[in-house]
Structure 1
Amino acid sequence: MRILCFAIAWPIAALAQQSVQFGTFTACSVCHSNLDVPSGVTDFVNGIPDLRARAQSVPQRVAAGPGALWPASMMAHSSRDPYWRAKVRFESAANPSFGAVVEDTCLRCHAPVQQYLLRGSETPMRLDHLNPNGQEGVNCTVCHQVTTEGLGSASSFEGGFTIGPDRRIFGPHANPFAQPMVASSGFTPAFGDHVRESALCATCHTVITPILTAEGVAAGEFLEQSPYLEWLASDAAVRGQSCQSCHMPVFKDTSGVEATQHIAHRPNVAAAFPQTSPRKPFGLHSLVGGNYQMSGMLAELIPVEAALLDAQRGRVRENLRGAARLHSTARRDGSALSVAVTVANLTGHKLPTGFPSRRIWLNFTVLNHGGETVFESGRWDTRNIRIAGGNASEPHHTRITSQEQTMIYETEMEDVAGDVTSSILRAARFRKDNRILPAGFDVSRVRIDGIHASNLLPAGTAGDLDFLPGSDTVEYVFAAPEGNGPYRIRVELLYQMTHSGHLAGMDRDRSADEQVFLDLFERHAAPVPMARREFLVE
């Protein structure tokens, strides 16, 4: 986060220019909302659980184009995300001298359609300044207008992307038929394969914040979130598997073969433009991540979008289920059983990644032959909205022998004095970062001027010899007299986007945004399962 001094003033003239620099989602969706069922395909899913269709002799249109999927994504809700809004209010209140900087910097990526024109001026954008332009979130004309300038460099991070002045809309297809877009929107389609590169995503998903002392003095920088840098250090980058490969999968038929598709359709007509032909790749703009709970919160906040968000929730759940795999081995040692559980990371970044509040943990349950629970670690306590029996601060474990211990993969921040903090601006380092590394993790691959790759290394895992790139193993040891078997072992990996420890300091009486989120959290805090194993041991 660049530390700047601003004078508070709102430039009304800038608002009038918004429609010149950017377009609206509505204008794009007229021609980019539908797909045709490929010829000869009788049934297809394309990685979208709620999308099924039958091909007929007449081309059938399916609402699965960018304009049909993007509205349910977090990109569409970036400025309306209730957790983000509450967190911004908290940080601004906790660090009032930096409030304007915090809000303006966050709005670079959460409301770029409105904030971009203020860059280089002495006027910060505040959260209260949001207008309908800003509420568009990260729309089509943001990502598709980003040029290659600086991509992959430190200057591009924290929303440091560059929008070209000539209203060119970049896509992965050469020589697109331009006339319809030019006539209807004033934008010109152009070839730009950089829209398929991870460096484009990195502009908003690499965040570096100032470290503030108790006196509010800047004392360095903190790498707050770094999925792109984690990816650079992984085998996924070596294989050329970009962020888009997983989060915007290409259109495929039921056999798994990439299918061609028209990139645009005539408005309100079940046909493509006659001057065009089907092309590939065709990326599905579902933009799935791990925000399962947030989709539920948004559906409650915006009832008119509930159906879209419920469908997105299903896609997110499927995405999470493909992010990890569980393995286990068991052995008997007299009257005790020992079960080793391995969590394998199938993603190209740490698991979990992104904002520091994300966490995953193991719920390990043992039942005797009568179905009675004789040991359980990591049970979710619905009444108290917490992990049952756990501690406020849970260390990394190699061996669990008590139901009071839980294997949690997460980050824990501390300030310059070494005290635990939930404030992003007070965070100086991670005292704990045992998030599961991606396969092949090697920080020497991260060579970017101004970025210290050592900041990507785990913390709090010293001495754990099986905490390795791609997986981690934890051993559970518990009493299990032979006469009470066979024992049924259930292991579940659970994901949660945030938890009560990260909400410390939020005040429902201070702002409406904090009140709204804290109320929503009570109803949507429950974790979502990512992986599960169940087996018997004598």
Structure 2
Amino acid sequence: MLRSTWPTGTTSICWKNVSQGGDTPPLTDLGLSTALDLLDKTEEEQAVVGDFCLRCHSPVGWLEGFSEPPNAAEPHLRGDFWGASLQEFSPTSAEAPDPLHNKDSEGHMDGITCDFCHRVIDNQKDAGGIKAAGNGGVFVTPYEFFTANPEWEGDMQPGGPRVMDPFQRESELCGTCHEVTNPFLMTLTDPDGDGTPVNVPHPIERTYTEWYNSAFPDKAGGRCQDCHRPMRFPGAQTWMLTHLERLWGPIDQTWTDLGYDVTSSRQAALDARVLDNLDFVDGATARISVVNQPESLRPGDTGSVKFRITNLTGHKLPTGYGEGRQMWLHVRIWTKSGTILEDGAVDPASGEVLVADHDDIFEMHALAEGYGDLLDEDSDGLVTEHEKEFHFVLLNKVVKDNRIPPEGYDKAAYMAQGAFIIPADEYADGQNWADREYTFTVPANARGNIKLEAKLMYKTFSNHYEDFLAEKDSEPTVSHGGHARDLPAAGSMTSNPQHWGEALKEIYEVSGNGPAVQFARKKTEIELNRE
């Protein structure tokens, strides 16, 4: 794929405390004014933004040089730090060791691949594990090492030995990408509501911090890898939505030609992973219990039941990049005479979660604050909250994060390191549960005992987030007169999308609007007393 000119035999894509050279301050010291200056620059001059995204979402693509190149406006992009010393194999080059190590394999389109993770080695984090974690801070062993040491080839060749670097078994490996910080903006987040923002770079994702400052690092079996099953690839594992063959078509034939035990159907591979993941999350991530409920009720009585959701994971529930991710209780209360209460159903037409109180949804909500009329999309002179949402690189203020923390979480460390709890008093120090109470009146014509069921549901994409992406990703593809990469020719999209946003919309709708996944379920019953 690539060979490194580093004499040390490792290729660095670590950022740590990056500066632009000379007396220029580190990127993490830059504020909103600098971000606004960047927005005024041409697309060519904003190369660094995509660079930070690609190093985690497509590390092979980053290493192969698909990030924006250095230019006169950003000369600091040039150099070993940014991968400029990496030399790319041409598809026709005699140096290319095999067909998988050239552009023809399109490995950069497969996101996180087997061979990338099996080449990651210790990224020299400090003892605390936090300071240097995140933003794609890894070292990658070059291909020549595996040529000289075939016993370390691991899963990179069919039937090869499974030798791994010890670092690949540690939670710090996961923190490499699951700990993301905006390199340009200091956060405007004010968890305590006292008018003083926390003095840290704006956090985008803090899964590693959440784990590190919980009870799990000191537990036997407390590593990320102890809970999360090893990744298995009977085919290309890409996105979480179904019906992917509409977009990608069959898997790259190169893999099967080389003898890997894979199916040529991406859909079959995805279906297998979906079933595996459903089995993994249901009952293993959370537990629902009943805190209190009446033993019996009469027709006309008003009663209430309180459910408790306990987080069994080593991070917030849900965790990861918070935009669009939602978790909530779907509660049904009924008798033989019909439904008494239902809260948390999903509108089948839109994918909207139907709750009486939106605060009952566990989620992170971040906004882009202070950009003036830049975000006034309808030009009405007023920038609404809706217009401030989902702008990834502009987000600088977390206004809600009520996701359930893990057992033994250190609240002070969470707040100091950007894993905010908002409102700040939502959870006491170490609390890894949340309660939800539902009040109802028993109908006069009720028959039979009162049945109650609570399901903990999760959606990776809210309908609002999908609508935003479908609308904003509107650059036409090359075939339709624009600059965006053409959709794969092997796909079978029915809407003939002119841009990737339309393709996303079609897949989302065909999948059933990104269907919700069940994490836990609890049933209970209240006696109906007619005496």
Q: Normalized against structure 1, the TM-score is what? A: 0.62
TM-superposed deviation, 1:429 = 2.3
Is the 2:303–2:439 Cα contact (8 Å) retained in structure 1?
A: yes
In the alignment, does 2:117 pair up with 1:143?
yes
Name the residue aligned to 1:285.
231
How much is the aligned-residue C-alpha RMSD, in angstroms? Answer: 4.1
TM-superposed deviation, 1:479 = 1.1
Q: 1:412 to 1:95 in 2, by over 3 A?
A: farther
TM alignment of 1:458-473, pairs within 5 A:
458-460=421-423, 462=425, 464=426, 469-473=431-435
Deviations 1:25-53 (A, max 9, x none): xxxxxxxxxxxxxxxxxxxxxxxxxxxxx
Name the residue aligned to 1:221.
201
Is the 1:367–1:487 Cα contact (8 Å) retained in structure 2?
A: yes
Name the residue aligned to 2:331.
364
Name the residue aligned to 1:271.
none
Name the residue aligned to 1:326.
288
Code of the residue aligned with 2:50 in structure 1: it is E
How many Å separate the matches in 2 of 1:534 and 1:182?
44
Name the residue aligned to 1:527.
516
TM-superposed deviation, 1:415 = 2.5
How many Å separate the matches in 1 of 2:310 and 2:319?
15
Name the residue aligned to 1:352.
318
TM-superposed deviation, 1:425 = 1.8
Code of the residue aligned with 2:167 in structure 1: it is H
How many Å separate the matches in 2 of 1:352 and 1:117?
33
Name the residue aligned to 1:104.
51
TM-superposed deviation, 1:424 = 1.7
How many Å separate the matches in 1 of 2:232 and 2:162?
21
TM-superposed deviation, 1:228 = 0.8
Q: 1:92 to 1:204 in 2, by over 3 A?
A: farther
How many Å separate the matches in 1 of 2:450 and 2:177?
48
Is the 2:115–2:156 Cα contact (8 Å) retained in structure 1?
A: no
Code of the residue aligned with 2:308 in structure 1: it is T
Q: 1:191 to 1:467 in 2, by over 3 A?
A: closer
Decide which moves more: 475-484 or 236-245: 475-484
Name the residue aligned to 1:38.
none
Q: 1:491 to 1:352 in 2, by over 3 A?
A: same
1:308 to 246, 258, 269: 269
Q: 1:300 to 1:460 in 2, by over 3 A?
A: farther
Code of the residue aligned with 1:412 in structure 2: it is H
1:423 to 366, 391, 405: 391
Is the 1:247–1:287 Cα contact (8 Å) retained in structure 2?
A: no
Q: 1:514 to 1:457 in 2, by over 3 A?
A: same
TM alignment of 1:258-273, pairs within 5 A:
none
Is the 2:200–2:417 Cα contact (8 Å) retained in structure 1?
A: no
Code of the residue aligned with 1:498 in structure 2: it is F
Name the residue aligned to 1:61.
none
Deviations 1:412-441 (A, max 9, x none): 112224945211222112211011111111
How many Å separate the matches in 2 of 1:456 and 1:121?
29
How many Å separate the matches in 2 of 1:474 and 1:499?
21
How many Å separate the matches in 2 of 1:412 and 1:386?
16
Name the residue aligned to 2:455.
492
Q: 1:295 to 1:503 in 2, by over 3 A?
A: closer
Is the 1:344–1:471 Cα contact (8 Å) retained in structure 2?
A: yes
How many Å separate the matches in 2 of 1:493 and 1:182?
36
Code of the residue aligned with 1:514 in structure 2: it is G
Is the 1:413–1:428 Cα contact (8 Å) retained in structure 2?
A: yes
Is the 2:346–2:354 Cα contact (8 Å) retained in structure 1?
A: yes
User: What is the number of equivalent residue pairs in this alignment?
Assistant: 381
Code of the residue aligned with 1:432 in structure 2: it is K
TM-superposed deviation, 1:196 = 0.6
Q: 1:389 to 1:354 in 2, by over 3 A?
A: closer
Deviations 1:373-401 (A, max 9, x none): 1211111110132123657xx22xxxxxx
How many Å separate the matches in 2 of 1:212 and 1:471?
32
Is the 1:385–1:522 Cα contact (8 Å) retained in structure 2?
A: no
Unaligned runs of 5+ in 1: 1-17, 23-90, 170-175, 214-218, 249-283, 396-406, 447-451
TM-superposed deviation, 1:369 = 2.8
Is the 1:295–1:312 Cα contact (8 Å) retained in structure 2?
A: no
Unaligned runs of 5+ in 2: 6-37, 68-75, 84-102, 187-198, 250-264, 371-383, 477-498
In the alignment, does 2:3 pair up with 1:20?
yes
In the alignment, does 2:180 pair up with 1:207?
yes
TM alignment of 1:124-523, pairs within 5 A:
132-151=106-125, 152-165=129-142, 167-168=144-145, 178=151, 192-210=165-183, 221-240=201-220, 241-248=222-229, 284-286=230-232, 294-303=240-249, 304-321=265-282, 322-328=284-290, 329-331=292-294, 335-356=301-322, 357-370=324-337, 372-388=338-354, 394-395=358-359, 407-417=360-370, 419=385, 420-443=388-411, 453-460=416-423, 462=425, 464=426, 469-481=431-443, 484=446, 485-506=448-469, 507=471, 509-511=474-476, 512-523=499-510
TM-superposed deviation, 1:456 = 1.3
Is the 2:331–2:344 Cα contact (8 Å) retained in structure 1?
A: yes
Deviations 1:149-191 (A, max 9, x none): 323354342112112457446xxxxxx9839879989x99866
Is the 2:408–2:429 Cα contact (8 Å) retained in structure 1?
A: no
How many Å separate the matches in 2 of 1:150 and 1:180?
22
Three-state SS of the structure 2 residue aligned to 1:456 is: coil
Q: 1:363 to 1:312 in 2, by over 3 A?
A: same
Q: Normalized against structure 2, the TM-score is what? A: 0.62
Code of the residue aligned with 1:487 in structure 2: it is I
Three-state SS of the structure 2 residue aligned to 1:491 is: strand
Code of the residue aligned with 1:309 in structure 2: it is L
How many Å separate the matches in 1 of 2:419 and 2:206?
8
